[in-house]
Structure 1
Amino acid sequence: MFNFVIDCSDSALNDYLKMPPEDAVRVFTRGDLNWCLQTYFILSKQNKIPVKCSNKLCDNSINLVHSDQLLRLKGRPSQFLVCVRADYPKRRWAHYHIVQNKKQLDANTSYVPHWVQPGLIKRDESRKGVTRIAYAGEIQNGNLAGSVSAWRELFRPHNIQFVVLEGGTWHDLKNIDVLIGIRSFSSQTYDTKPPTKLFSAWHANIPFIGGNDSAFMQVAKPGEDYLLAKTPEEAVAAVLKLRDNDDLYERLVETGKKKGLEYNESTIAEEWLNILTGPVTSRYEEWKARPGYECRQFNLKQNIGITEHELKRAIKRLIHIG
């Protein structure tokens, strides 16, 4: 049994499990709900492997739990743990890890593409030209290069509107002509981040302009599947090229449609199934075959992992005080 664990009360869990499909956009925004609850729903529909969703770690199950939640729950030697890292740290005591960026790959680790934004609304086919570009996502914690006001000023001379879509509306791209995904104007590759915004652009029939994220380059080629911008000037130039060159705009849209076929609910679900029934199950069988050794390793690695976490927290507090 594959147990997808989410952080909630018993009553909230009951509500989630009865959730109507139209609530997906609102609910699948938090890490554990996005990764664990959403995956449970999709795999349960396929009915190919035994899955359940709960709010606790269970014995006699393969438990899939978000990294942040695993830090709180910790777990016991009698529980097999698959840590869904997202962009959080790996947990030493987990028996396996699922990651969203290939740069995170390590021993007993598999990469799975992040799910496409649920409820995605494509660009309105009646729109003409490039007059409105957008960033769809959280802007805090360095997710968007520069300030929103600076982005607006960049495009004001060209009569192009720059907007940030608020949480809960990231799926609604019907009035967007170009999607932006630039975390910084630097060489940093953000090796824990997924290519989700690029997937959204492909599925919404919108050209994408991205930064140096390694995730984009793992699934696509700059200049062919999206445009790369390393400076504010390059970002403006890329938008103006799309505005002034209909052939380029349409080529990126058509390429995105083809690439989107590689990354949709069906193909990503197949990746999950292959990993869960393949390397994860193999590691589970190995774990069951040597309980004494695995118990000792678990206790040792958990103690080290929690000590490391507490030390990092203490250092951050000292830096903040200083």
Structure 2
Amino acid sequence: MIYHFIANPEIVDFFRDTAGHEAGACIDSEHQRFTNSAWAWIAQTAVLLRDAGLPVSMGPELRPDAVNLGLAADLRRLPRTADCFRVSIDADQLRARWSNAFIVQNKAQAGRRAYWVPHWPQPGLLKRDPDRQGFKNVVFFGLARNLEHEEAWWREVCGQFGMQFSVRPPAQWHDYRDVDVAIGVRRFGRKKFNNKPPTKLFNAWIAGCVFIGGADSAYYQVGSAGKDYLIAANERAFTYHLKALSQSPQLGDQMILEGGRKVNRLGLRERTCHHWMELLTREIGPEFERWSETSEPFRHLQLRAGLVMDGGVRFRNRCWRRAKDFCNRAAFWS
């Protein structure tokens, strides 16, 4: 059985160039590439699974004789024929519902034919300097536009406790050497972001930093709030955590130890690779074999049902966007 990854020419070249080399070292040496879904989900997964011994191929087109794995957006650009078995890697994209199986990044998305896989940790991650004392540098690893408030607000709050705040650019997402507290707050409030992964928490555990996150479901699915990470559901909670870390650094040190213990069981590259191997060989591989034994009319029926469902979801989303736009316009003119 072959596991075929759908990828663009640049990723295909990387896949070919790294053949015969240690996968992890190749990925870490080019960590600057892995800042989008195509590199994080496709390139990384294919190279590491090939290194682990699975029969893996890669190319821009579907293969009728293989398990085809691709980002949902890439599958949408390919022919929707009934002669290929597809696995939609949803990431942050609209699920390709005519696929035969789905891979999701949040446990809340798992269900019938939808399987959760922990996201890979940050390639080339440089851990926090073990000689650092106390908690001074607070860093957000992400795009500034995804922060709840302007950067000035974060700098002001951190400054109240003698701390510095900064947003780390994508080219430095791997560098935690001077980081004491990593931030993963998308929004203050109780929104669970059930389509987002716990990657920022994994990275903080591996790096040896304290992690302060929002109410994201992904964090409490894998972590223990108050023990190996902190939740800041509102501005007051965020301020409280900074005050506690500044006045009682030992609390942060203990949290870092707990995170280190947790990541040894979940979150390391080796554990994620094992999870992928188990999923493909025990779940998706057998599904492909059963599908291969079905009749052509059944495959066409299954494909058509998925297309109808996909059309319904897209129509619903268009209606929702138009209604939201109408409400925004009405509020503007009122």
Deviation of the 1:132 alpha carbon:
1.0
> Any residues of structure 2 matched to 1:17-28 within 5 Å, and which?
17-18=16-17, 20-28=26-34
Check the 8 A contact 1:112/1:272 in 2, yes or no.
yes
- Match of 1:72, as an amino acid? R
CA distance in 2, matches of 1:192, 1:302: 22
Q: Which runs of 5+ in 2 are unaligned?
A: 19-25, 330-334
Secondary structure at 1:168 match in 2: helix
- Match of 1:266, as an amino acid? E
1:284 aligns with 2:288: yes
Question: Where does residue 198 of structure 1 map in the other structure?
Answer: 201
Match of 1:114 among 96, 119, 132: 119
Question: Where does residue 181 of structure 2 map in the other structure?
Answer: 178
Deviation of the 1:232 alpha carbon:
1.2
Question: Where does residue 59 of structure 2 map in the other structure?
Answer: 54
Match of 1:208 among 193, 206, 211: 211
Secondary structure at 2:102 match in 1: strand
Secondary structure at 1:37 match in 2: helix
Check the 8 A contact 1:144/1:181 in 2, yes or no.
no
> Any residues of structure 2 matched to 1:218-297 within 5 Å, and which?
218-262=221-265, 263-291=267-295, 292-297=297-302
Q: Percent identity?
A: 30
**Root mean square deviation of aligned Cα:** 2.0
CA distance in 2, matches of 1:120, 1:181: 17
Deviation of the 1:12 alpha carbon:
5.8
Moved over 6 A (4+): none
Deviation of the 1:39 alpha carbon:
0.4
Deviation of the 1:79 alpha carbon:
0.7
Secondary structure at 2:77 match in 1: helix
Secondary structure at 1:280 match in 2: helix
Check the 8 A contact 1:131/1:161 in 2, yes or no.
yes
Secondary structure at 2:144 match in 1: coil
Q: TM-score, normalised by structure 2?
A: 0.89
- Match of 2:245, as an amino acid? L
Deviation of the 1:300 alpha carbon:
3.5
- Match of 1:188, as an amino acid? K
Check the 8 A contact 1:181/1:197 in 2, yes or no.
yes
Q: Which runs of 5+ in 1 are unaligned?
A: none
1:139 aligns with 2:144: yes
The more displaced of 88-97 and 70-79 is: 70-79
Q: TM-score, normalised by structure 1?
A: 0.92
- Match of 2:193, as an amino acid? Y
- Match of 1:43, as an amino acid? L
Check the 8 A contact 2:161/2:242 in 1, yes or no.
no
Check the 8 A contact 1:80/1:95 in 2, yes or no.
yes
